[in-house]
Amino acid sequence: AQSVTQPDIHITVSEGASLELRCNYSYGATPYLFWYVQSPGQGLQLLLKYFSGDTLVQGIKGFEAEFKRSQSSFNLRKPSVHWSDAAEYFCAVSKAAGNKLTFGGGTRVLVKP
């Protein structure tokens, strides 16, 4: 069975500083990997996805993620955080692009002014 671990429950970062959110997955075959952001009162928004090809994936809002098969990781990064990036971030894995998703526990990001 597939599983996703996000080791950090909370992360506090100063505005303008860089951000990295960790995600480790467990899946026997080539995974389809996703990062979503959830803001209060809003649905989950897809930041980026990895299916194949270039292991460094660019997403919306200045986010990027790197797939490392050897480490079973798909960490999310942003060079300079804005106050509006404060939200809950979820890493997810599925067997195929439109299949059911298995989510990690989420990481709540707080941004200090």
Partner 1 sequence: GAVVSQHPSWVICKSGTSVKIECRSLDFQATTMFWYRQFPKQSLMLMATSNEGSKATYEQGVEKDKFLINHASLTLSTLTVTSAHPEDSSFYICSARPGTANYEQYFGPGTRLTVT
DSSP line for 19-51 = EEE--EEE-SSPPEEEEEEE-TTS--EEEEEE-
Residues 84, 113: Cα–Cα separation, whole Å: 11
Query: Taking the complex as a whole, how short is the minimal distance between the CB of residue 68 and partner 1, in angstroms?
Result: 22
Total residues contacting partner 1 by CB under 8 A comes to 21
Cβ closer to partner 1: 46 or 110?
Answer: 46
Query: Taking the complex as a whole, how short is the minimal distance between the CB of residue 85 and partner 1, in angstroms?
Result: 19
34-63 positions binding partner 1, by CB under 8 A:
34, 36, 41-46, 49
